[in-house]
Amino acid sequence: MSFCIEKNYRNNEALRASFNRLAEKTFGLSFENWYQNGFWKDNYIPYSVVIDGEVVSNVSVNACHMNYMGKIVKLIQLGTIMTDNDHRGKGYARTLMEEILKDYEGKVDGIYLFANDSVLGFYPKFGFKEAKEYQYSKEVTIPCECKAEMVPQKDKQDFDRIVEILDKTNQNARLYMVGNTGLYMFYLSQFMTENLFYIADCHSYAIAEMEDDTLILHAIIGEGTVDEMIAAFGSRVKKAVLCFTPKDTSGFEKSELHEEDTTFFVKGKFFEDSSEDEYMMQAITHA
């Protein structure tokens, strides 16, 4: 059966609708609201096998440039990797991977992805290696009450204001994504509309959530220190878990990150040069 490879077709309504149908069927996700809110930009590029006008297989490229200890590193993350059940076993994912590597290898500092357990043997065929991530946490006692104020995110005006904050404000982290607010907003505008907080004492924002007495801190937008941001959530917090790597890890317990059905694969110079460094990719930037 003849097929073609289509790339970066977000403004093609028929192909975008077909892509969304496959994403709904595979992951229970639709990208349509994200597109309609203006967050699907040039740095999210689907590579799709199309047969008779239908997307049957896809691997998406996310431009994920990172600020790593003050230096900008050019990375791409592969995600939304899916093939329709009726078209599996035909080599379409391999064809898409080869096309992406032809377009990007040698032009970026590294390529990475998060794979589920059913495909762990697939990515090493393309030179990817398993890599470790490390997470930081600590037990805390906070005497004061909560000062973190939730920032409402209800409509496009609210979302656009958050995009401006993300665009113009550095994050307090050793490694964080820059130049791709769309990927942050994939989470913030859909699944995390009640997870952005402002801490007036240090003029900074936190993306965070509470699970019982545990604060899960996804990002610090601004110069607020990690301890200041944790304390702002008040006495109910007994443990803080960071979903990014702090600049200063002293006082934190480090553990190798293990996520169910998830393996971190990498290739490229950045990952070779930083293979001894103990960091994690921000959880909120997983594609």
Q: How far apart are CA 66 and CA 75, in angstroms?
A: 7
In terms of phi and psi (left: phi > 0; alpha: psi -120 to 50; beta: otherwise), the region of 90 is: alpha
Calculate the dihedral angle through the C-alpha atoms of 103, 107, 112, 116, rounding to the nearest 10 degrees: 10
Q: How far apart are CA 142 and CA 285, in angstroms?
A: 29
Q: Where are the beta strands (DSSP E) in the chain?
A: 4-7, 44-51, 54-63, 66-68, 71-73, 75-83, 110-115, 129-130, 134-139, 149-150, 175-177, 196-199, 204-211, 214-221, 239-242, 253-256, 263-267
Domains of the chain, each with CATH number or no CATH: 4-133+257-285 (3.40.630.30), 136-255 (3.40.630)
Q: What is the mean pLDDT of residues 228-233?
A: 96
Instruction: Give pLDDT, residue 154.
Output: 87
Give the 3-state secondary structure of residue 230: helix
Which residues share a beta bridge with 197?
150, 206
Is residue 87 predicted with pLDDT exceeding 90? Answer: yes
Name which of 160, 132, 124, 147 is nearest 267 in CA terms: 124
What CA–CA distances, in Å, run from 285 to 96, 121, 181, 187?
A: 22, 24, 10, 9
Residues 6 or more apart in contact with residue 219 via CB below 8 angstroms: 171, 173, 176, 206, 207, 243, 244, 282, 284
Q: β-strands 263-267, 129-130: how paired?
A: antiparallel
Instruction: Give pLDDT, residue 120.
Output: 87
Instruction: Give pLDDT, residue 13.
Output: 97
Instruction: Give pLDDT, residue 81.
Output: 96
pLDDT in tens, 8-48: 999 999 999 999 999 999 999 999 999 999 999 999 999 99
Going by the DSSP 8-state scheme, the letter that residue 53 receives in this structure is T
Average pLDDT along the chain? 95
Q: What is the mean pLDDT of residues 159-186?
A: 93
Instruction: Give pLDDT, residue 202.
Output: 92
Instruction: Give pLDDT, residue 118.
Output: 85
Residue 131 and residue 265 in contact, taking contact as beta carbons nearer than 8 Å: yes
Q: What is the mean pLDDT of residues 206-219?
A: 96
Is residue 287 predicted with pLDDT exceeding 90? Answer: no
pLDDT in tens, 53-63: 999 999 999 99
Is residue 273 predicted with pLDDT exceeding 90? Answer: yes
How far, in whole angstroms, is CA 218 from its chain's centroid? 11
Instruction: Give pLDDT, residue 155.
Output: 87
pLDDT in tens, 133-163: 999 999 999 998 999 999 988 888 899 999 9
How far, in whole angstroms, is CA 95 from its chain's centroid? 24
What CA–CA distances, in Å, run from 53 to 19, 48, 146, 212?
A: 10, 11, 53, 48
